C-alpha cells in the first residue's frame, strides 16, 4: 500500500460513516496517514449528534471508535478493536456504534433533536 491507498481507505470509511450516521455527523476530518510496510494508519475525527467528539482509528487492519473527552482521554465504544478487513456489513457495524453513542446521550436531548432511534 502507498499513502494514496490509506487516503482511499479513509475516504471509503468516511463515506460509510456519512451514509449510516446521516445528519447525526458533521465534517469528518482525516489525518495521521502513514503507509509503511509494517505500519499503516489513519484517523478520522468528527462530531456526532452535536454532542460528542468521535475519533476513528485505523492501524494495521484493526479499527476502533472512541469518544474523545480530552486530548489524553478517550473512551472506546467497543469492547475490543475490530478487524477492518473482516467488516462485511458496514451498516450493521456502524449501527452498533450509533447505539453505543446514543446510550451515553440524555434521552431528552435525542428526542429534542429527533434522533432517538436506538435508546430503550
The pLDDT tens digits of the residues spanning 80-104 come to: 999 999 999 999 999 999 999 999 9
Residue 100, burial from CB neighbour count under 10 angstroms (0-12, 13-18, 19+): middle
Q: Is residue 101 part of a domain?
A: yes
Q: Is residue 119 part of a domain?
A: no
Q: 82 is in which domain, residue-wise?
A: 3-113
Answer yes or no: is pLDDT of 44 > 60: yes
Q: Is residue 71 part of a domain?
A: yes
The reported pLDDT for the residue numbered 1 is 44
Across 48-65, average pLDDT: 96
How many independent structural domains does the chain possess?
A: 1
Distance of CA 114 to the CA centre of its chain: 21
Q: What is the pLDDT of residues 68-84, one digit of tens each?
A: 999 899 999 988 999 99
Amino acid at each position: 500500500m502507498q499513502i494514496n491507498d490509506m487516503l482511499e481507505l479513509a475516504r471509503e470509511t468516511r463515506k460509510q460513516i456519512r451514509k449510516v450516521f446521516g445528519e447525526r455527523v458533521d465534517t469528518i476530518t482525516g489525518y495521521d496517514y502513514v503507509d509503511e510496510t509494517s505500519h499503516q494508519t489513519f484517523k478520522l475525527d468528527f462530531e456526532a449528534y452535536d454532542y460528542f467528539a468521535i475519533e476513528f482509528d485505523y492501524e494495521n487492519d484493526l479499527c476502533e471508535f472512541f469518544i474523545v473527552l480530552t486530548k489524553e482521554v478517550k473512551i472506546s465504544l467497543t469492547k475490543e478493536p475490530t478487524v477492518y478487513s473482516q467488516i462485511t456489513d458496514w451498516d450493521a457495524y456502524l449501527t452498533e456504534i450509533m447505539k453505543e453513542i446514543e446510550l451515553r446521550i440524555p434521552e431528552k436531548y435525542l428526542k429534542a433533536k429527533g434522533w432517538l432511534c436506538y435508546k430503550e
